Amino acid sequence: MKPFTLETERLLIRPFRRDDAAEVLAFSSHPEVVKSTGDTMRTTLEEVYDIIDNTWLKEYTRYGYARYAVIHKEDQKVIGFNGLKYLPEIGFPDLGYRFLPEYWGQGIATESSRAVLNYAFQEFPVNKILGFTLPNNQASMKVLEKLGFLLWKLAPYPGDDNDLNIHWYHLLRENYERS
């Protein structure tokens, strides 16, 4: 992966580095953040280093993309992530984002997602990008719909051993380019 930084009015978006670990821990261990994602809470720096080293850095090398650090220009700190994650069991990447609660409701998810989608459709041969939300995450549904994603189906997440139907959204390259 070639180094890059995406810039929006309020944000810088770049690949994660190991020295982001403390800031990643802040949003990965926050109960409100974890509750809205369905992910496992990370409570130690060791767990975060594992995600950075063995997930994100490896995905950058393997696919050319992964989740990216989102830095608030004014604060100059990592406030969350946005980016793609390739899902081999489905054959498409998903757009995912996560931010500290003090940045919710400010349009950060939409702003960073637009930058990531523009980058993804310009740089990678992806024709469809998925988005997943828990049934109670209305804010995330609004973000995806604002970006042009369409609700595709309600179904469990692949590999999950529960019966929770999550909202599956999809965005086709051709629809994004027309918008």
Domain ranges of the chain: 6-126
For the segment 48-61, what is each residue's pLDDT rounded down to a tens digit?
A: 999 999 999 999 99
HSE, CB side, 13 Å, CA atoms: give it for residue 104: 14
For residue 1, what pLDDT is reported?
A: 62
Bridge partner residues of 58 (DSSP): none
Side chain identity at 134, as an amino acid letter?
L
> Does 3.40.50.720 match the CATH number of domain 6-126?
no
Q: Give the best-scoring range by mean pLDDT among 31-35, 39-43, 116-120.
A: 116-120
For the segment 103-161, what is each residue's pLDDT rounded down to a tens digit?
A: 999 999 999 999 999 999 999 999 999 999 999 999 999 999 999 999 999 998 877 77
Residues 6+ apart with CB under 8 A from 80: 27, 70, 97, 98, 99, 100, 103, 108
For the segment 79-100, what is each residue's pLDDT rounded down to a tens digit?
A: 999 999 999 999 999 999 999 9
Contact 28, 48 (CB under 8 A): yes
For residue 46, what pLDDT is reported?
A: 96
